[in-house]
Chain A
Amino acid sequence: MRSALSLLVASLLIVMGGATACIMEEKVVEIVVNGETTTDFQHGPSASESFTDDFSVSLAPVLDQALADAGFSRGDIKSAFLKGGAYGVTVFSHSHDWAVGGEVSVQRIDGTPGSPSAVLDYTVQSLEGALGKKTPVPLVAPGTEVIDQALTDYLAGGDPTLRFEVNNSDVEPPPTAADPIQFEWKIWVEVHVIVEEETEVPDPF
């Protein structure tokens, strides 16, 4: 009886041990990390319909931090690309609404500076309607190509720097000295980064 029990338990442990070794499979899994940079602007008070704001982004610190937060590093990246952009009004206090229109352009300023290319296009946007919201904006292909090329250079080990410029060209109703436009707003630029991770996955049968 005792030897029969020993044989039975030993058989069970052998099967379990073998199962443990063979049920785990090494796999490379592609994970998506969201990278984002934001900038706040304060505009006005101004009596002009046309105004310009700009900001610069050094890609390496932004993306390195996003990757580090997710537990990855630059060497884990398979590809990266622009996913989208958005804007929102953070402070707006007027007796009436304003509708604004314009575009955001982007240019490389590391190495030999490139020329500005439109990347975000916003038309007839109500400031009151954008208050407290993150409103996606359609991308414009030439600017997207600039950012995607910068991301490719980042993957190759570089530290591209991008300069974004907001060119507002239209305000309705037109502001005046007696009724100047004033608001604070924010722009988001988002990228998707695909990283590869080796992991052991159970696939027992």
Chain B
Amino acid sequence: MRNRYLWWCVLAGVFLPAVLAAPVSAQIEDQLSAYSGANATGYLQPLADSFGAALNSGFYRSAYIPTTGPRVSLEVLVMGLYFSDDQRTFQATTEGTFLPEQTAAAPTVIGANRALIIDGSGGAMYAFPGGLDMDSFGMLAPQLRLGALFGTEAVFRYAVVNTGDSEIGDLNLLGLGARHSVSQYFGKLFPVDLAIGFIWQSFTVGENSRGENLIDSDAFSVGVQASKRLPFGFATFEPYTALSYDSFHMKLDYDSEATGTAEPIKVDFDRMNTGHWTFGLNLNFVIANLYAEYNVASTSSFGFGLALGNLGF
């Protein structure tokens, strides 16, 4: 019976990223077809910011790592953020044969769903595509934590979703990370737990007409965490904080018809590097763990989740 519940949990964790991300990837390919490279970057920037913020959160919820002993947890991470008003438009430039060339505040991928139409010379008109009119973004990922050996633990994120829809394509998430207890070297009198760690991730979404990934991204985060476990009835209450340095890079490969004929467009977004401060609360039960946190970075976000395992020991 217990195994059955565990599998339900795993399936839910793997399935939900598709629910959240697949419709976006299918839709943005239609929206993007009107844009060539320069406009595509501005149009998709809020989505790139969101992916970066989502991937580089939920890596830790405690700095406590025992020196040795089995330490296993299967975790479900939920990350969310609200888009700001200034992310809803970008400065888009007309393309193709429209004259005169003009720049206008057009909807981004999360902006107003109505197209923006501007007037040109001789009665010409130009339309910038609408966005998906989103107020928030969410991402959910399964995570496995294994340890501990010499105060070190490994963290894995893995999800492969074949949607069975050639238009949507697949989603692939692979993450590998490790953390090491630093406070184990300072003795038991050291007032807090300290750890350092890193995580690298690869995340691909969707499929273009050539069978290649629509979005191909990678993320890396390295940082230091601190936490303090305090008794809380039959559980322990654990405030935690962390400082990290995050990096995120995204590439886009789609077909544009902005110039009148279909042509493949590859867009390489600038690598985003940002400092990242996390503070959160962790509630440890015997076989489960709940957490909620807020992440202050170039794109701030919040997260919460649940872990099943022996992290509370």
Q: Which residues of A contact B (CB under 8 A)?
A: 1-2, 4-6, 8-10, 12-13, 16, 19-20, 23-24, 27-34, 36, 69-71, 81-86, 134, 136-141, 143-145, 148, 188, 190, 192, 194, 197, 199-205
Contacts and interface: CB of A to CB of B under 8 A. Distances in A.
B266 to A, nearest CB: 19
Contacts of B5: 5-6, 9-10
Chain B at the A interface: mostly helix, strand, loop or mixed? Answer: mixed
B165 interface: no
A138 B257 contact: no
B34 A83 contact: no
Interface string B284-313: 001110000000000000000010100000
B258 A34 contact: yes
Contacts of B6: 9
Contact of A205 (B114, B136, B306): B136
B134 interface: yes
Contacts of A70: 30, 33, 257
Contacts of A28: 113
A21 B93 CA distance: 38
A192 B124 CA distance: 10
Interface string B125-160: 111111111111110000000000000000000000
B97 A144 contact: no
Return the 8 tightest CB-CB contacts between A and B, nearest first.
Answer: A84-B97, A139-B122, A144-B123, A204-B138, A36-B260, A205-B136, A32-B34, A30-B130
- Taking each of B33, B81, B131, B286, which has the highest tally of chain A beta carbons within 10 Å of its own beta carbon? B33
A10 B8 CA distance: 9
A8 B288 contact: yes
Contacts of A188: 97, 260
Given A12-B76, A34-B257, A188-B260, A24 B23 contact: yes
B210 interface: no
B232 interface: no
Interface residues of B, number: 61
Contact of A84 (B80, B96, B287): B96
B134 A203 contact: yes
Interface stretch (B12-20, B65-73, B220-228): B12-20
Interface in B92-134: 96-99, 113-115, 117, 120-134
Nearest to A12: B306
A13 B130 contact: no
A36 B130 contact: no
B27 interface: yes
B9 interface: yes
A205 B306 CA distance: 18
B34 A82 contact: no
Nearest to A81: B125
B184 interface: no
Contacts of B96: 34, 83-84, 136, 190
Given A84-B96, A203-B136, A192 B130 contact: no
A31 B31 CA distance: 6
B84 interface: no
Given A5-B5, A32-B34, A36-B261, A20 B97 contact: no
B80 A199 contact: no
A83 B97 contact: yes
Contact of A202 (B23, B114, B117, B131): B23
Nearest to B119: A81
A19 B12 CA distance: 11
A132 B16 CA distance: 50
Contacts of B19: 20, 23-24, 202
B182 interface: no
B161 interface: no
Given A12-B9, A27-B133, A202-B19, A139 B257 contact: no
A13 B128 contact: no
B75 to A, nearest CB: 11
B2 interface: yes
B112 to A, nearest CB: 9
B23 to A, nearest CB: 5
B80 A204 contact: yes
Given A8-B288, A200-B23, A138 B99 contact: yes
A29 B132 contact: yes
